[in-house]
Amino acid sequence: MDYDQGVRVLKYHMHAGIGTHMDAPSHFFKEGRNIADIPLEELACPLRIIDVSKAAHPEYFISVEDLKQHENIYGKIPKGALVCGHTGWASRWSDPKSYRNEMRFPGFSKEAARLLFERQVAGIGIDTLSPDGSDTQDFPVHKLFLGAGKYLIENLTNLDRAPPSGASVIAFPPKLKSGTEVTLRVVAII
């Protein structure tokens, strides 16, 4: 319908895993939670940003040492937090070839992901195509987090505008019953 009929009604068709989006456990695991199954309490939580933007390059993996340096300054990463890797990669977004970079971009190391898992964070976010970085053959971060029922957020932007600690985050996706991934807006409350 359109305005000449009194009201405009639109129909949207889009790929779910494009732009800033969330991966639910069912993205990799058939019996995993879907987008609609993730409780609101896990989507409104403390925010921690691990800023490695000055060091990051296409083969960079956020390390346990990066996490420990962050914790030495800002305190232990709290249980239930969303931990986001700020690599500076979002600055390439307007140039898709540079952003994709032949699937070479920063991510989280398996060891750093394991430490965050042990800290019982709600999820991991990053300003690249994947928290696995260039390890898109095995997807160890996806498998660890999604396999444990947690979520991932990819293609974040404006991480440089939020503090490394002290903010909260809201990431409410549409409640898709069978959704394995979905676009969303992520808002930091500072």
pLDDT of residue 137: 84
Supply the pTM of this predicted model.
Answer: 0.95
Q: Closest Cα to residue 112, out of 47, 54, 60? A: 60
pLDDT of residue 38: 96
User: How many domains in the chain?
Assistant: 1
- Contact residues for 48 (Cβ-Cβ < 8 A; gap 6+): 70, 74, 77, 78, 81, 82, 83, 84, 164, 165
**143: CATH:** 3.50.30.50
pLDDT digits (tens, 9 = 90+) for 97-153: 999 999 999 999 999 999 999 999 999 999 999 999 988 789 999 999 999 999 999
4 domain-assigned: no
For the chain, first and last CA: distance in Å?
Answer: 40
* Bridge partners, residue 123, by sequence: 82, 151
Report the alpha-carbon distance of residue 106 to residue 46 in Å, rounded.
Answer: 23
83 contacts 116 by C-beta, under 8 angstroms: yes
User: Quick check: 80 pLDDT over 90?
Assistant: yes
100 domain-assigned: yes
Domain that holds residue 73: 15-189
158 domain-assigned: yes
Q: Closest Cα to residue 83, out of 74, 96, 95? A: 74
pLDDT of residue 177: 85
User: Quick check: 65 pLDDT over 90?
Assistant: yes
Select the more confidently predicted residue: 2 or 136: 2
pLDDT of residue 176: 86
- Name the band, by pLDDT with cuts 50, 70 and 90, for residue 13: confident
* Bridge partners, residue 152, by sequence: 23, 124
Select the more confidently predicted residue: 106 or 18: 106
128 domain-assigned: yes
